[in-house]
Amino acid sequence: MFKSINIEQKYLNILNEKIKEEPRKTASGTLWILDKEFVQQFPFINSDAFVPCSNIFKIGNSYKPHTDVFLPEVQTNLLIPMASEYDEELSMIIFDQRIEDRGTWVWNTVDDISNYPPKTHTTRPFETEGVEGVTNKPISDNLKPYLPYDEDYFFGLTGHVMPWKIGEAYSFSARNIHCSGKQSGFKMGCSIRLSCPWHEAFVPQESEIL
């Protein structure tokens, strides 16, 4: 479902230098746009598979259920946590359900979606055509402690909890629906989209090969 590796502080330093530049404001948060040349500074990332819809983000509340298929070739999201406002245990929820398209599900949490991106749904994933693998049951019990919104929002979904720890990097399928776990303040991270499968996102380093 996902893969994680430890990363050195020097790579977090590179990311922290980037956010000194002017960001872009969006409906869901603040973004710093990344290009392939920037990502090539991280030798553990399969930058040959880089897709130009990657960014550093800062969000003040939990991301709603969504996919990251911003371009048709995107298969994988590689996430690097950078900072959080409070010293708390953060997580992401990677659902088993998927859709071969971009999507964000706001259900009844947003009154006006005019500033939201294309393919923003006012339904739940359970009610959305094209979502694969939904059940006809409440959200699975193992996920309930981590849900950032009402349980009914996540009806029909199952999945896994992925840690969100600074000093680690994670890869997972961009086509599986996912969302932030509970959070009390802002958090920042780097999201790099790749055209390879999630289990090919990391380049083995010499110490791993020897």
CATH numbers and ranges of domains, the chain: 2-198 (2.60.120)
Is residue 194 within 8 Å of 201, Cβ to Cβ?
yes
Helix (H) or strand (E) holding 208: helix 206-209
Output the pLDDT for position 28. 73
Per-residue confidence in pLDDT tens, the chain, 210 aa = 899 999 999 999 999 999 999 999 887 789 999 999 999 999 999 999 999 999 999 998 888 999 999 999 999 999 999 999 999 999 999 999 999 999 999 999 888 998 888 899 999 999 999 999 999 999 999 999 999 999 999 999 999 999 999 999 999 999 999 999 999 999 999 999 999 999 999 998 754 444
pLDDT for the residue 210: 41
8 A C-beta contact, residue 51 and residue 88: no
| 172-209 CB burial, b ≥16 within 10 A, e <16 | bbbbbbbbbbebeeebbbbbbbbbbebeebbeeeeeee
Residue 161's φ and ψ, nearest 5 degrees, are -95, 130
pTM: 0.93
